[in-house]
Chain A
């Protein structure tokens, strides 16, 4: 049932990458419980514009949980208190009247803040460029059933491919580690026949790029998987670890 909430927001404001930044407090009133978290920010920003103040910058695009843009660290958790959702799918009914909500950007060396709640996640793009693809010359797509793939493998690869690259894993991890993201991207190809020719080169190069970007190492806390809006499993990290070990011992590089 729809209710209206009055909330106190503490939002991180930072003019640019070089600004020190600080928290600003805002009171927002009459917020419908049917609104999404981002819509609540829209209401606040409308007000800030009419008050001739700088609206709060935040990333958003599809608003249906598949683009991975809406990176907000809400009350100590990426994408807020609910599991399996992005910020755009987080509804205000998850909060109570009078709550204070602290909103911060992702914090990681590899994700520098651009402005307010917007961070630069191009580190993920560079990891993908390092090997998260299959090199094939395009042409007519071959018949879908020409390559047999066991159903279990296809399902597992699909579960890995569900990763939307939102960065919640990095945000949640106490080490700001990107293992879950990288392992999902490694797994989705490692499980399929099309990914085999470049399998070990791929894992080596993606891990090397991941380290270069300044992400932390893995402590296996499982926070990444628990906070992942797509529920990517830790088994993918284990697969990446295995493949990396095999890559080190079996590739021709000396």
Chain B
């Protein structure tokens, strides 16, 4: 085991850890993005709310989510330790340093950008994840779907309604045919209410810029750290890093608070 500790505590090994956890967090962004696209669906949140139940109850997702929390913490703590170590390597700073002449500003600001993202994650998880799992502010909504016509009618449950499980599902029948009933914790409504606050929307949009800039350097840097730098596939890595991870995904996430704010 000695060799494992030795390898991962070296300056190269620490970068392997940053790269592996970073890429795992990138893969999470894709899943989070695709899932949250359901917020745009005009169904009063039925799809999004049932998805939220799935994401918090499915055992596979649960295990993955613990791996995710661990990765966020590890990536952040390791990143801070690396900044400290790197500062120690140059205790006396230059009086004049023209970094712009030889490198992109994002690559020189990963610590600052990462810190902004970490603060954002704390706020974001407090607002939604914590409230959904442990808070008492989020109420329940029932959805009646007429299976024959496909029309859904949603109705907020009274404030007294509490439920042990996160979702109640059932079929009811009346003279028009069959109805499907879903009663679920209404995270969609919590999202819609919170994103009416301009300061929260502004914070989310600004933080998505931080994500974009962090990944503009971070995505391709991770491959370099893992030793994957070859003209055969560098084009693909650069394309994904720039267009998908630093533009498309942050823009998609920023669109969600803006969508609810202007809705």
Q: List chain A positions with a Cβ less than 8 A from chain B.
A: 10, 12, 23, 73, 75-77, 81, 102, 104, 107-110, 172, 174-177, 207-208, 210-211, 214-223, 226-227, 234-235, 237-245, 248, 251, 253-254
Contact = CB atoms under 8 A, between A and B. Distances in A.
13 contacts: A76-B96, A102-B95, A107-B92, A217-B12, A217-B14, A217-B15, A219-B108, A219-B110, A220-B224, A221-B104, A245-B226, A248-B13, A253-B3
A71 to B, nearest CB: 13
Interface of A is mostly: mixed
B11 interface: yes
B224 A77 contact: no
Nearest to A233: B229
Given A77-B102, A222-B103, A248-B13, A107 B86 contact: no
B41 interface: no
Contact of B94 (A104, A211, A222, A254): A104
A75 B102 contact: no
Q: Which 6 A-B pairs have the closest CB atoms?
A: A242-B227, A76-B98, A216-B89, A238-B229, A175-B86, A248-B7
Contacts of B6: 248
Contacts of A218: 11-12, 15, 225
A238 B97 CA distance: 26
Interface string B229-256: 1100000000000000000000000000
Contact of B89 (A102, A109, A207, A237): A109
Interface string B75-104: 000000010011011111111111101111
A110 B101 CA distance: 24
A159 B107 CA distance: 25
A219 B221 contact: yes
A222 to B, nearest CB: 5
Given A238-B229, A244-B12, A245-B16, A214 B101 contact: no
A76 B101 contact: yes
Contacts of B158: none
Contact of B85 (A216, A227, A244, A253): A216
Given A110-B89, A248-B7, A217 B229 contact: no
A77 B89 CA distance: 18
A109 B88 CA distance: 7
A244 B14 CA distance: 12
A53 to B, nearest CB: 22
